[in-house]
Amino acid sequence: MGSKTRLQLTWIGKDEKLNLEPRILLEDKEQLYHAERRYSENDPFDNKLIFGDNLLALKALEQEYTGQIKCIYIDPPYNTGSAFEYYDDGLEHSMWLKLMKDRLQILHKLLKDDGMLFVHLDDSEQAYLKVILDEIFGRSNFVAQITYERSSVGGIGQGGVVVNTGEYILIYKKKELNLNEISSYKPIDLKTMKRYNKIMKSYGERTLIEEFISKSNGESVKIYKHIDYEVESFSFRNYKENQNEIDIKYGKEFNNLFRTFLIQKENSFQQDLISKMDKGNLYSVEYIPSRGKNKDKLTNLYYLNNELVGWLKDSAFLQDGMVMKSSKITNIWKHEEIPKADLPNEGGVSFPRGKKPEQLLKRIIEWSTNEGDIVLDSFGGSGTTAAVAHKLKRRWITIELGEQCYTHIIPRMKQVIDGTDQTGISKAVNWKGGGGFRFYKLAPSLLVKDKYENWIISKEYNPEMLSEAMCKLEGFKYTPDKDVYWKHGSSTENDYIYVTTQFVNQQIADDISDQMADEETLLICCKAFNVNQDDFPNISFKKIPQMVLDKCEFGRDDYSLNVSELPIDKKEDEQMMLFDLGDDGE
């Protein structure tokens, strides 16, 4: 077959292949935290906070969570050269790109087919990362680039000709996602809400008063006059103070809320309709538009007092005393739309220059997920993603290597669970507390070298840890059977694995074989064995650690690529990024 070529970004070290060890996760039950009671049936308890290198942590999640994550939001170090208090944010270009590519490849695997990825960064690497994401996700799966105005010009003490007040959020979908079905809702501002000041209590009876043929498409246009209709005035001015009373009286009729609009003079068709109507009455027009969003669809428009009626119907609902209305997502998110006035105090933790507003994460998570979906953040930072996902009753996984995992995320999430955190979005979503999380650390490498440079099983591994680790390395799910000692895990309904450090002889193999059903197969992983393998056609025998030495890279705990710890042996001009036409042979 011929070869295909595609545009790609290349840099020194891009093609270096990492053979990551799929570590197991060790739960630290002293850090487990949950509410004392349930506040609802959907309280999120099954959440994971993981302390450790995020590349190894992502690899650890791969077996269980491939294709399970609905939303991934990451806010990686921007590679600006600035020394953040909690991050060394100054990796050289090639190093940073390599760091991101390795992680994004696993993140792509973890996403559900209808999942979405959000990458938050500034302009120092945005253009380069866009090309890498095109390679990994496919250019056709690019959704949008959001320009996020992080602050006003007045709040920036920055020199230079162009003052940079913006950041970017790159959005990609996995594959099977109908973007037209994704809705975003936001409250209508009070000024606009007050304009929806009428409710249609009854349409009354209608009588056809005129019918004619449209010049634009030759379809019939029918004008009806209504009698005995009932319109009642309504005001949102004091809605919050009188919410209960108003809900009882009008609660089922908010979809009949409307406002009226003057028809533009330039709209000759609408002006012609209005000319056939008397002031002070209700009319409806039934016709098929020749253009616009209702093109070729039978449409009913209402007119009151010679003005067009605009409904909230089918696009709005009440939430916390506000009318929420469906809105199109634009690619410009201004800081006024996502207020950050109290950002330093959100979550009760300080995270200078690194914390993102909870309102921003609320918009992202509500847009891309439903209650119960899993949200992942592999650059946990101060824990904003976990806090917002929790308050929105989503399940979450957060990974953080820095000490802020203990100093920021754990205290913050405890306050969220207790309901004492009333900052951020808490009041908007009426957050009272609930749920919980489990805390995990990455296990050490399974294999280490002894003083003779031979690979041996780490002494930090007990039998249960060894069994779980071998299951991961061999592609089995760790599901130890309480009744059958040799069933440590399974890959199919009838295929099992048994992990032991003892010497396996003919007698032990005979005992296990006698217990096996005819259709069952078994892999025995042991330090040594002496059996006649021909006697056991349904059993395979392998030695630890020889059987796994070539499966991955053991003994490496840090994939952070901290440039300050690496020798400088290349000049800057040798590190330039090049666009290259690479071969994809088939």
Average pLDDT over residues 97-116: 93
Measure the CA–CA gap between 365 and 385, rounded to whole angstroms.
9
Residue 398's closest CA among 414, 409, 412?
409
**Percentage of the residues of the chain whose pLDDT score is greater than 70:** 80
Q: Is the pLDDT of residue 531 over 90?
A: yes
- Residue 527 has φ and ψ, to the nearest 5°, of -70, -35
Q: How far is CA 519 from CA 25, 416, 475, 522, in A?
A: 32, 50, 20, 10
Q: Are 234 and 247 in contact (CB under 8 A)?
A: no
Measure the CA–CA gap between 181 and 138, rounded to whole angstroms.
21
Q: Are 347 and 423 in contact (CB under 8 A)?
A: yes
- pLDDT at position 586 is 36
Measure the CA–CA gap between 259 and 307, rounded to whole angstroms.
9
Written as six digits, the tokens of 265 are: 């003079």
Helix 384-391 and helix 410-418, axial crossing angle in degrees, nearest 10: 20
- pLDDT at position 182 is 61
Measure the CA–CA gap between 32 and 550, rounded to whole angstroms.
36
- pLDDT at position 233 is 86
Residue at 348: amino acid letter: G
User: What pTM does this model have?
Assistant: 0.73
Torsional sign, CA 505, 510, 513, 514: negative
Average pLDDT over residues 498-516: 97
Band of the pLDDT at 343, cuts 50, 70, 90?
confident
- pLDDT at position 579 is 39
Residue 299's closest CA among 313, 315, 284, 286?
286
Measure the CA–CA gap between 309 and 208, rounded to whole angstroms.
19
Measure the CA–CA gap between 497 and 560, rounded to whole angstroms.
34
Q: Are 428 and 452 in contact (CB under 8 A)?
A: no
Q: Give per-residue pLDDT as tens, 28-57.
A: 999 999 998 888 888 889 999 999 999 999
Measure the CA–CA gap between 360 and 176, rounded to whole angstroms.
25
The conformation of residue 562, written as its DSSP 8-state character, comes to -
Residue-averaged pLDDT of the chain: 84
Band of the pLDDT at 339, cuts 50, 70, 90?
low
Q: Give per-residue pLDDT as tens, 112-129.
A: 999 999 999 988 888 889
Own/partner long-range contacts of 139-146 (Cβ < 8 Å, ≥24 apart): 141/172, 141/173, 141/174, 141/175, 142/170, 142/171, 142/172, 143/116, 143/171, 143/172, 143/173, 143/179, 144/171, 144/329, 144/331, 145/169, 145/170, 145/171, 145/331, 146/170, 146/171, 146/331, 146/332, 146/333
Torsional sign, CA 288, 291, 297, 298: negative
- pLDDT at position 305 is 93
Q: Are 368 and 182 in contact (CB under 8 A)?
A: yes
Average pLDDT over residues 422-434: 89
424 Rama class: left (phi>0) / alpha (psi -120 to 50) / beta: left
Q: Higher-confidence residue: 21 or 81?
A: 21
For residue 357, say if its preceding peptide bond is cis, omega within 30 degrees of 0.
no
Q: Give per-residue pLDDT as tens, 148-199.
A: 887 654 444 455 567 777 899 999 999 877 665 565 555 666 667 778 888 8
Average pLDDT over residues 539-559: 93
Written as six digits, the tokens of 130 are: 């866009």
**Among the listed ranges 159-173, 180-194, 465-479, 556-570, which one has the minimum average pLDDT value?**
556-570
Residue 347's closest CA among 438, 409, 418?
409
Q: Is the pLDDT of residue 407 over 90?
A: yes
- pLDDT at position 83 is 37
Band of the pLDDT at 499, cuts 50, 70, 90?
very high
Q: Give per-residue pLDDT as tens, 227-237.
A: 999 998 887 76
Measure the CA–CA gap between 499 and 526, rounded to whole angstroms.
6
**Percentage of the residues of the chain whose pLDDT score is greater than 90:** 55
Average pLDDT over residues 299-325: 74
Q: Is the pLDDT of residue 516 over 70?
A: yes
- pLDDT at position 180 is 59
Give every strand in the sheet of 316-319, ordered side by side.
Answer: 184-187, 322-327, 316-319
Question: Which residues, in sequence order, are CB contacts of 209 under 8 Å at separation 6+?
Answer: 223, 224, 225, 276
Highest-pLDDT range among 147-151, 284-288, 556-560 = 284-288
**The residue to which tokens 């920021």 are assigned:** 408
**The residue to which tokens 């006059």 are assigned:** 225
Average pLDDT over residues 449-464: 95
Q: Higher-confidence residue: 56 or 333?
A: 56
Q: Are 530 and 555 in contact (CB under 8 A)?
A: no
Q: Is the pLDDT of residue 361 over 70?
A: yes
Query: Where exactly are the structural domains of the chain?
Result: 28-182+335-442, 190-324, 447-548
Query: Kindly report the CA angle at 502 between 500 and 506, in degrees rounded to 5?
Result: 100
- pLDDT at position 308 is 93
Query: Kindly report the CA angle at 286 between 280 and 289, in degrees rounded to 5?
Result: 120
Tell which CATH classification among 3.50.50.60, 3.40.50.150, 3.40.50.720, 3.40.640.10 matches the domain 28-182+335-442.
3.40.50.150
- pLDDT at position 248 is 67
Q: Higher-confidence residue: 391 or 90?
A: 391
- Residue 161 has φ and ψ, to the nearest 5°, of -70, -45
Q: Are 365 and 388 in contact (CB under 8 A)?
A: yes
Average pLDDT over residues 450-460: 94
Q: Is the pLDDT of residue 583 over 90?
A: no
Strand partners, 455: 449
Q: Is the pLDDT of residue 336 over 70?
A: no
Transcribe 56-79 into DSSP letters.
HHHHHHHHHHTTTEEEEEE-----
- pLDDT at position 474 is 96
Band of the pLDDT at 572, cuts 50, 70, 90?
very low
**Among the listed ranges 5-14, 320-329, 384-393, which one has the minimum average pLDDT value?**
320-329
Written as six digits, the tokens of 125 are: 């690497």
Q: How far is CA 135 from CA 113, 142, 168, in A?
A: 17, 11, 19
Measure the CA–CA gap between 400 and 92, rounded to whole angstroms.
22
The 10 Å Cβ neighbour count of residue 387 is 29
Measure the CA–CA gap between 335 and 191, rounded to whole angstroms.
19
Q: Higher-confidence residue: 235 or 416?
A: 416
- pLDDT at position 144 is 92
- Residue 404 has φ and ψ, to the nearest 5°, of -65, -10
Q: Higher-confidence residue: 443 or 150?
A: 443
